[in-house]
Amino acid sequence: MSAANEPRWNNLIPLVTGVIVLMLLSNLAYAHGMSEAEKLSIIEGGNLRYMWLGATHMLSGYDHLAFVFGIIFFLTTFRDIAKYVTAFTLGHSVTLIYATFNGIQLNYFAIDAIIALSVCYIAFANIDGFRKYLNINPPNMLLMIIGLGLIHGFGLSTRLQELPLSEDSLLLNIISFNVGIELGQVSALALMLMVVAVWRKSHAFKTFSLIANYGLILAGGLLFLMQMHGYEHTINAEEFTASARTSQNDASNKKVTVIKNPGVFSQSAWTDTINISIPGRGDKEYKLYLAKDSTFEYAWKTNSNKLFYDFHGEPDGDTTGYFKSFKKKTASNSNGSLTAEFDGTHGWYWKNNTALPVIVTLKIKGTYKRLDINKEPVQVKPVLKQNTITHDTID
């Protein structure tokens, strides 16, 4: 490169680097999670939709991108690129396919915390930290890349299993998603390699490398703390949810309350008990009709695994597809009460991401109309003992 051209590259490199940093940080608050819009759009899309979602998932997954960014510092030849990228790809492909196909689900905050530590590990190896700070030889990098790839695959699988996967074409869905992941990974890697390849010729590259890798260690540590905070919320969900729900309801006036009685599900004053079977890799809705300002109480639990659910309502006569969500999360039980803000249907959408069917037992009382049996609205007084009606699965 001529001396005349060098200033141009020196001006261009910070600009391109800034773009990459923005890419890495643009979705910091959401990691590589999938929005509800993506989950719904996938239902009507084919395998190309899974491929597209895989690509965008990787390109918006800042922790995966940070890991790939760390790898490029020791990719100095085409042989290195082929060897290490193939090792990482094989690693995460194995666990992505195996875990998803067999319905193996791990806590996504815990797995993302480990992925954050993998970013720290790569950066620590890049600055020769094992020799400089620990006085030991570093582990075999190729084996470590494979192992870290396996961990990243579990993270990708955890997110993929949030989607409505088809039991009939499950393997093809998984492969399509994985192909999209590889396309996104190769695109990001190619851009990063082009920038770093140019910068390697600059005398400032060594300084840049040190700053970048210490920055990755710091970023990985912060991500680890963030994910562990989320993990605490999922492990101790009842403690966090009660206070958060109270504040949220006061602010938004949703009129949804949480019943904090541990024995709420076993109390005898329920009007109806409904057993609902959610097939493996399937979903189902159950709705009640409520008039405006009418109130009902509910409690439901599963017989085994957690389900993703959306407790929501649709106004009567609406033709725009509008609905209002009151409570949305992944859990094995929930209870509370609702005062309807409008005439319309109110109820639950459950999604089973495991391979086995799950039975939901729902108990309700209050003023409502059972749509499955055309039952007229009834007013229940808490002091009266009600007969319990048990129904079979709603198909």
The pLDDT of residue 240: 41
pLDDT reading at 55 higher than 60: yes
Most confident of 8-12, 57-61, 133-137: 133-137
pLDDT reading at 96 higher than 70: yes
Name the 3-class secondary structure at 379: coil
Cα 353 vs. chain centroid, distance in angstroms?
12
Q: What angle do CA 251, 252, 257 make, to 5 degrees?
A: 90
Name the 3-class secondary structure at 327: strand
User: What's the pTM?
Assistant: 0.56
Domain 252-391 maps to which CATH number in 3.10.450.50, 2.60.120.680, 1.10.1060.10, 3.40.50.1010? Answer: 2.60.120.680
Percent of the chain's residues with pLDDT above 90: 29
Which ranges constitute the DSSP H helices of the chain? 6-25, 36-44, 47-59, 62-71, 78-101, 108-126, 129-133, 141-160, 170-199, 205-235, 237-252
Phi, psi of 98 (to 5 degrees): -65, -50
17-26, 116-125, 276-285, 353-362: least confident range: 17-26
pLDDT reading at 100 higher than 50: yes
The pLDDT of residue 91: 92
Q: Where in the chain is the domain with CATH 2.60.120.680?
A: 252-391
Kindly state the tokens that stand for 11.
């001006």
pLDDT reading at 155 higher than 60: yes
pLDDT reading at 161 higher than 80: no
The pLDDT of residue 46: 66
Cβ proximity of 231 and 110 under 8 Å: yes
How far apart are alpha carbons 230 and 187 in whole angstroms?
30
pLDDT tens digits, 30-49: 344 455 555 555 555 567 88
Q: Around Cβ 249, how many Cβ atoms within 10 Å?
A: 16
The pLDDT of residue 57: 79
Most confident of 145-154, 170-179, 319-328, 385-394: 145-154
> Which 8-state DSSP code applies to residue 341?
S
89-93, 223-227, 374-378: least confident range: 374-378
The pLDDT of residue 376: 52
How far apart are alpha carbons 314 and 361 in whole angstroms?
23
| Summary mean pLDDT of the chain | 76
- Alpha-carbon separation of residue 203 from 11, 13, 373 (angstroms): 14, 13, 77
How far apart are alpha carbons 227 and 177 in whole angstroms?
24
The pLDDT of residue 374: 60
Cβ proximity of 386 and 269 under 8 Å: yes
| 47-59 vs 62-71: helix crossing angle, rounded to 10 | 70
Residue 6: pLDDT band (50, 70, 90) is: very low
122-131, 215-224, 239-248, 288-297: least confident range: 239-248
Instruction: Look at the block and give the residue holding tokens 């600055």.
Output: 127
Instruction: Look at the block and give the residue holding tokens 């396309």.
Output: 183
Q: What is the residue-wise DSSP string for 43-69? A: HH--HHHHHHHHHHHHHT-HHHHHHHH
pLDDT reading at 51 higher than 60: yes
The predicted model gives 142-146 an average pLDDT of 92
Higher confidence at residue 269 or residue 127? 127
pLDDT tens digits, 240-289: 434 444 444 443 444 444 444 445 555 558 988 899 988 877 788 999 99
Type of residue found at 159: R
Residue 25's nearest CA partner among 59, 62, 58 is 62
The pLDDT of residue 383: 39
pLDDT reading at 121 higher than 50: yes
The pLDDT of residue 373: 80
